Structure 1
């Protein structure tokens, strides 16, 4: 039986969701404890007020255990109960005063045996307010006697019930529930982030999925073949079980690193497929640059040839204009070389 009990706790330890439920209470335990201390202080204050002003309202219905079996064994306890009842009816017993008070408060004689005063001492008031007040949806007012509007302390009783309901039930208890719910939400977010990291990040090298976009090796091929974490685990086990005299060079290096708890032998942020693809990419970029440079040089040569031809044409046109200017005569000068001036 004890083994089964421990195995059930092992199930909680193995299931991460159940473990987060427990952590939601224990992670922010200090905040929860301090809020609970505040609740206890408020319960203590309300118990003092109830003990001083509303002692007669703390009359609760109880379910007593039948003593029929015990009366048969002891013999005569039932007779004692009948005698006490008769003495009470005759006014001899001192408990008749308590019964009279209950009759004044409107309690029937039939339900008298099931009713009990729970605030005759401060300790009982604290226990009643703590037990029944916190477990009732409307606070301690749900379990106390319903007062009449003609009573002098009716307004005070209404204020007492409302203050307990708002301060303890609504504010303090919801603070505790809020801390637990927020912690559980944070733990669930952390779990989702861990799952996302495991899906999009290589466990060995730490490279993310987007690093393998437009590469020769996909991310799935990388984590299954190139950096398979189980292969690394098998290699560590091999190094530990293998005789040190039979180590190869890499195995000796890895064994020394494992002994020192050093993980520098892991290819952090590196991958052979990315290195090869990066080198090929650099070579392709160099070829592209060379081709662009050659095409630019050819364009420059063509432009220089066109500029040379244009320069020659301009020079030829300038020479022709100079010849025309030397051989031609202006139209406004009438010079006859045969007639002297």
Structure 2
């Protein structure tokens, strides 16, 4: 409840500030997250597992740093400052590796200059080949897919918990915590006993009395 009040106070403050800066109205549109339970679950799938995501992202950053060192040490001539792939300094090489390596579909190899000749520079060619190939496999396929997998698994767990909660709310009694099917079965049995069961019981008792009378008459005739 306190969190909801805090959000409402923030929205009110942004609304007041929007009179002086109309662009704030775009931020207020994020209020739809508070109104949509599905969007809240999507946000929770990221924030509830934030620690694991942060640790894995840090591990990925270390891997990118290692590849940036390799690229700056061995393939500095393939950086193109004129094309926006800056590599004149180590810091620029790191930023270019992280930025262009993750955003390009083929990894960092798509951003660097063309391959050297495999005939005249065979060692440099094969070094660049394995560098680009391993970068693409590790980061553009495995790293990003693992992050998406963590988010999707968390979202699936939240969805299962939500479905289990809804099933428990709809399928159990709030008072006695019994299943709905058990309650309906007991109700049907009680109703049967109070309606059809009474008639059948009456017929059964009538048959028993008739049998007892016939047995008594038969015994009387036998002794006579």
If the length of structure 2 is used for normalisation, what is the TM-score? Answer: 0.70
Is the aligned partner of 1:131 residue 2:152? no
Deviates more, 1:145-154 or 1:125-134: 145-154
Question: How many Å apart are 1:2 and its aligned residue?
Answer: 2.8
Is the aligned partner of 1:44 residue 2:56? no
- Work out whether residues 85 and 112 of structure 2, in 8 Å CA contact, stay in contact via their aligned partners in 1: no
Larger CA Rg, structure 1 vs 2:
1
The match for 1:183 is 154
- Work out whether residues 57 and 144 of structure 1, in 8 Å CA contact, stay in contact via their aligned partners in 2: yes
The match for 1:299 is 211
CA deviation string 1:283-306 (max 9, x = no partner): 554664464244235335535765
The match for 1:86 is none
Specify every segment of 5 or more residues in structure 1 that has no aligned partner in the other structure, as ranges: 61-113, 216-273, 313-341
CA 22–297 in structure 1, closer or farther in 2 if over 3 Å, else same: same
Paired residue total = 198
Question: How many Å apart are 1:156 and its aligned residue?
Answer: 1.1
Return the alpha-carbon distance in structure 2 between the equivalents of residues 42 and 142 of structure 1: 19
Matches within 5 A, 1:162-201: 162-197=133-168
CA RMSD of aligned residues (A): 3.5
Return the alpha-carbon distance in structure 2 between the equivalents of residues 17 and 158 of structure 1: 44
The match for 2:5 is none
Is the aligned partner of 1:55 residue 2:26? no
- Work out whether residues 85 and 96 of structure 2, in 8 Å CA contact, stay in contact via their aligned partners in 1: no
Match of 2:86 among 78, 93, 118: 118
What is the SS of the residue equivalent to 2:64? helix
What is the SS of the residue equivalent to 1:144? coil
Structure with a larger share of its residues in helix: 2
CA 125–14 in structure 1, closer or farther in 2 if over 3 Å, else same: same
What is the SS of the residue equivalent to 1:118? coil
- Work out whether residues 80 and 86 of structure 2, in 8 Å CA contact, stay in contact via their aligned partners in 1: yes
CA 180–293 in structure 1, closer or farther in 2 if over 3 Å, else same: same
Specify every segment of 5 or more residues in structure 2 that has no aligned partner in the other structure, as ranges: 1-12, 16-24
CA deviation string 1:254-304 (max 9, x = no partner): xxxxxxxxxxxxxxxxxxxx6xx8866555546644642442353355357
